[in-house]
Amino acid sequence: MAHHDHVPGTGNGKGMAFRDQIANSVIDAVNPQAHDTIYDIGSGDGHYSARLAEKAARVVAFDARPDVFQGENYQKANITAVPGNICPWVEAHGFHEASQVFFSNSFHDMPCQEKLLELLGSTLRPASRLNFVEFKLATPFGPPADIRYSPERLKQLVEAKGFRLVKELSFEYHYFHTYEKLKE
């Protein structure tokens, strides 16, 4: 699926209200551990970065909009902010340091989705986890439906890169998947 032009974070606020309803379940499902380095890709206002940083050793937050990193959610000592387009950064660095990677309603917005999946598959260590929160296709708000991924399509794409689905949750407007990197 090609990236389309839509500006993330410009909706009517419904998504944020629903995020608050699912956040505890999502954090429980990610299950951050004291030794984890978690890459939060498309971190937005930092809500999940801050929550993950409460338990993880380190959170590396990526967002294309540098101004978001001024918010209070990014003020924890164990959060590193990486502003700008993730695509060139990840091509240069990969995911070698991450034990978990987290996308919250952001994967569909990435202009380099195929490259991200390739690098996740080739640079994450075995047993590392890849987590997604995404909009359901029929959700009446959020990004255009034609750039969303059905749970089945996301599973097909991710598992083709050397992962297996180990956890899935369904919410009213979103779904959550955790994949584990298989041994090579």
For the chain, which residues make up each domain, given as ranges? 14-181
From first to last of its 184 residues, the chain has per-residue pLDDT tens of: 333 343 444 344 555 556 778 999 999 999 999 999 999 999 999 999 999 999 999 999 999 999 999 999 999 999 999 999 999 999 999 999 999 999 999 999 999 999 999 999 999 999 999 999 999 999 999 999 999 999 999 999 999 999 999 999 999 999 999 999 998 7
Q: What is the pTM of this model?
A: 0.91
Kindly write down the DSSP assignment for every residue of 54-92, as one continuous string. Answer: TTSSEEEEEES-GGGGGSGGG-STTEEEEES-HHHHHHH
Q: What is the pLDDT of residue 17?
A: 58
CATH architecture assigned to 14-181 = 3-Layer(aba) Sandwich (3.40)
